[in-house]
Amino acid sequence: MKEGELRVSQKEIHRMHVVRLTLEGRESVGRGAKLLGISPRQMKRLRRKMRERGDRGLAHGNRGKPARNKIASEKIKKVIALARGRYQGLNDTHLTEKLKEKEEINLSRPTVRGILRQAGIAAVKKRGVKRHYKRRERKAQAGALVLWDGSPHRWFGEKPGEWSLMAVIDDATGALLCGVFALQEDAQSYLICLKQMLLEKGIPLAIYMDRHGIFRRNDDHWTVEEQLAGEQTPTQVGQALKALGIEPIFALSPQAKGRVERLFNTLQDRLVQELRLAGISTPEPATAFLNGSFKADFNARFAKPAKQSEAAWRPVPKGLDLDRICSFLYQATVGNDNAVRLGGIILDIPAGPRRRGYAKARVEVRQLLDGRWRVYYKNQLLVETTPPVMQAPLRTLRRRYRAVKTGEKRRMAKLTKETTSAFRL
């Protein structure tokens, strides 16, 4: 097209042709107005404009002029520089929020997306076609059902190695309740989440989870005591849920707990960048950051009100010892020296009333989440102490305890076999 030539559409060509016919007298004004679908008065205006300015008189007055809302080139360059620099890795929505909150650049998400794509900055995540699953309706009340799960990921950016994040979400509202970073998914982190949820919200009616060995027994071994009781002894987390009256619901597929899976998709997209912007690269500060300002901002943006305003959270009964419930339970026998030996730890039991001793007594040993030890006999607290300075990690102690229990089972099996053989002789 030559310089100065007017670029017009087929609709505009048709309009110019009809107006020209009326000016040449080959069509009446009324007939031309009907052909264009306008009023005769508007037709007269178009005729006047064409007489004065020709074909350009029928074009819009802003044709060829820059848009009034055109973004300055300096602002576009700044957005591109921030997207490739400080805010690299943020998705379009997250970047739009940061530009508005931190940089005072108020642009819409489609505008930011257009700037990035035109600059050759691809989307962080490509949206693909997903398999169809039937959506499960949310619970009507907050606290009726919560979901928890763990997600291994490079939460601290380029720092070597993956960490796991255990997080809890409410099904009715989608609110993030709490989270804990750990080296790997373990029972201790879930007990920490459980205790924090109890203190902040209360007791939920049910918890939806996968079939991980942390939550349920997946073995076929039954001890004599379990056979007499008619059920397997729950896991450490399972015992805490049973004591609180929380119903465990086990999912059969990742899609069954899709809401907590989608939560991790969002956290892997946003939380990683927020931790980087905050300069956090270790688990303890990251846990505090997650349960503090990030959780408040996340719930303000994404949480939804429940269908029913009355929540289903049960209040924690007065006098309920959450430290004891959210802890690790071991069974042990007191030695002749009134000491309990467990995984290399020795706990001395003081004398009871009237100098009573507890030798050979079967006691309940609890290791609390803060490292303290407690020994109970018939629901009576005998001793509470602090761990030694050189205490082994919780996971090491549990491994030793399982090894001792396995050794006892093997000795009992060997003794049974020898006794059977003797009777046969």
Residue 416, pLDDT score: 42
- Concatenated DSSP letters of 78-99: HHHHHHHTTTTT--HHHHHHHH
Q: Is the pLDDT of residue 360 over 70?
A: yes
Q: How confident is the model at residue 1 (pLDDT cuts 50, 70, 90)?
A: very low
Q: Is the pLDDT of residue 135 over 80?
A: no
Average pLDDT over residues 306-325: 93
Q: Residue 66 in 3-state DSSP?
A: coil
Q: How confident is the model at residue 389 (pLDDT cuts 50, 70, 90)?
A: very low
Between 332 and 53, where is the model more confident?
A: 332
> CA-CA distance, 172 to 80, in Å (whole number)?
39
> CA-CA distance, 163 to 180, in Å (whole number)?
10
Residue 391, pLDDT score: 47
- CA-closest candidate to residue 202, choices 51, 65, 315, 333: 315
146-302, CATH topology level:
Nucleotidyltransferase; domain 5 (3.30.420)
> CA-CA distance, 177 to 199, in Å (whole number)?
11
Percent of the chain with pLDDT over 70: 84
Percent of the chain with pLDDT over 90: 51
Q: Is the pLDDT of residue 364 over 70?
A: yes
Q: Do the beta carbons of residue 151 and residue 268 sit within 8 Å? A: yes
- The 3-class SS string of 328-376 reads EEEEEECCCCCEEEECCEEEECCCCHHHCCCCCCEEEEEEECCCCEEEE
Structure-token pair, residue 186: 């373990």
Residue 401, pLDDT score: 55
From 222-226, 271-275, 281-285, 366-370, the region with the lowest mean pLDDT: 222-226
Residue 305, pLDDT score: 94
Residue 66, pLDDT score: 65
Residue 420, pLDDT score: 36
Between 393 and 190, where is the model more confident?
A: 190
Each residue's pLDDT tens digit, 12-29: 788 888 888 888 888 888
Give domain limits for the chain. Answer: 10-58, 73-118, 146-302, 328-400
Residue 130, pLDDT score: 61
Q: Do the beta carbons of residue 172 and residue 141 sit within 8 Å? A: yes
Is the pTM higher than 0.75? The answer reads: no
Structure-token pair, residue 408: 């006892």
Q: Is the pLDDT of residue 159 over 70?
A: yes
From 229-233, 283-287, 301-305, 332-336, the region with the lowest mean pLDDT: 229-233
Residue 110, pLDDT score: 92
- If one counts every other C-beta atom within 10 angstroms of the C-beta of residue 155, the result is 23
CA atoms in the 13 A half-sphere facing the CB of 76: 12
Structure-token pair, residue 399: 């491994």
- CA-closest candidate to residue 126, choices 138, 117, 134, 118: 117
Q: How confident is the model at residue 393 (pLDDT cuts 50, 70, 90)?
A: very low
Q: Is the pLDDT of residue 58 over 50?
A: yes
Q: To the nearest whole number, what is the mean pLDDT of the chain? A: 84
Structure-token pair, residue 170: 């409410």
Average pLDDT over residues 309-324: 93
Q: Is the pLDDT of residue 418 over 50?
A: no
Each residue's pLDDT tens digit, 234-288: 999 999 999 999 999 998 776 667 888 889 999 999 999 999 999 999 999 999 9
Q: Is the pLDDT of residue 180 over 80?
A: yes
Between 199 and 127, where is the model more confident?
A: 199
Average pLDDT over residues 320-345: 92
